[in-house]
Amino acid sequence: HYIQQEPDTTRLESITSSAFFRINNQYKIFGHYSHDIENDATRSWGIGYDMEKRCWNYKISYKQENVPVSTATGTESRKDSMVYFLIELYPLGGFDYEYR
């Protein structure tokens, strides 16, 4: 004997989309957008540029987020703006050492 409850139906809180455009084999531009459905406000958005080579990559992007903040009078939001710079280095080789 067991009782099964219906699963809670969750409401959709936000919609997020992202896209990129490849300029050629090494370069692309990208972006994303997130919208809060309940509050009808933008959660975050960002754009960026990416370069990929055989032994290293770099990525530059800008992102802006709306961050909810609790205050004594209620809730407010704060906009945080960020710039990201990422460098990825891949190993160029290795060495082997044997001691006898």
Q: What is the pLDDT of residues 50-97, one digit of tens each?
A: 999 888 889 999 999 988 787 888 778 889 999 999 988 877 655 556
Taking CA 49 as the corner, what is the angle to CA 47 and CA 54, rounded to the nearest 5 degrees?
Answer: 150
The reported pLDDT for the residue numbered 100 is: 56
| Cβ atoms 46, 61 nearer than 8 A | yes
Taking CA 32 as the corner, what is the angle to CA 31 and CA 34, rounded to the nearest 5 degrees?
Answer: 160
